[in-house]
């Protein structure tokens, strides 16, 4: 605190003796910082966040989230309620939103995973957008496989990327797709059945509305 770190409630904050925290960083109540954690300047660590043995850049915000054995760049936001698991590397200007889990993955500058997603064993390029509910399917029950998403790709909501698979630069994945084959650069991949409406189906069954 004498060196310019703001600790809102010291009695509800734990800081490892090996930690380093930059000037003008704010620690909200309930924060736990363990191991050889390094936090840059002008960061905000939100309530009940847990950071263990990780490196955080400057002007980064961690909202009520868990970060372990990972590296997070500057001007990046994590959370609320995100989980950054070991061996993850988030570049500058990355956004990890609510209820997102990242494990053993790299995300390039400006990439976004905003809602309800799992990114595991993946290499994600720069300026990639991963839509809500999308996951990298990295485990077949026995082995782990890698997903590669190249720069400027767009992953539609509720997509499953079944590893090993590569999504080419600038490609689009249609929402609701399950991708099992590589997608070439600048392509649109659609992997879902075509919608078919059965008109009058309910009335023919004489089903009563509740």
Catalytic pick among 50, 63, 83, 115: 115
Closest CA to 88 of 107, 75, 74, 60: 107
Q: Does 115 qualify as catalytic in the annotation?
A: yes
- Burial class of residue 198 (count of CB atoms within 10 Å of its CB; 0-12, 13-18, 19+): exposed
Query: What's the Cα-to-Cα distance from 98 to each of 31, 81, 107, 163, 175, rounded to whole Å?
Result: 18, 5, 16, 24, 20
Q: Which residues belong to the active site? A: 115
């Amino acid at each position: 605190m004498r060196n310019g770190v703001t600790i809102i409630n010291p009695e509800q904050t734990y800081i490892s003796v090996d930690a380093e925290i930059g000037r003008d960083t704010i620690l909200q109540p309930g924060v736990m910082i363990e191991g050889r954690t390094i936090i840059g300047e002008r960061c905000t660590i939100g309530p009940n966040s847990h950071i263990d043995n990780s490196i955080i850049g400057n002007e980064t915000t961690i909202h009520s989230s868990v970060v372990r054995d990972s590296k997070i760049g500057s001007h990046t936001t994590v959370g609320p309620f995100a989980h950054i698991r070991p061996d993850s590397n988030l570049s500058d200007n990355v956004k990890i939103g609510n209820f997102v889990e990242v494990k053993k993955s790299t995300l390039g500058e400006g990439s976004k995973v905003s809602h309800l997603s799992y990114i595991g064993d993946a290499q994600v390029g720069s300026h990639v957008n991963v839509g809500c509910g999308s996951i990298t399917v990295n485990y077949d029950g026995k082995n782990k496989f890698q997903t590669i998403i190249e720069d400027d790709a767009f992953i539609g909501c509720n997509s499953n990327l079944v590893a090993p698979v590569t999504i080419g630069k600038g490609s689009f994945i249609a929402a609701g797709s399950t991708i099992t084959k590589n997608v070439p650069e600048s392509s649109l991949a659609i992997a879902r059945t075509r919608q078919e409406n059965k008109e009058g189906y309910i009335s023919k069954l004489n089903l009563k509305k509740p």
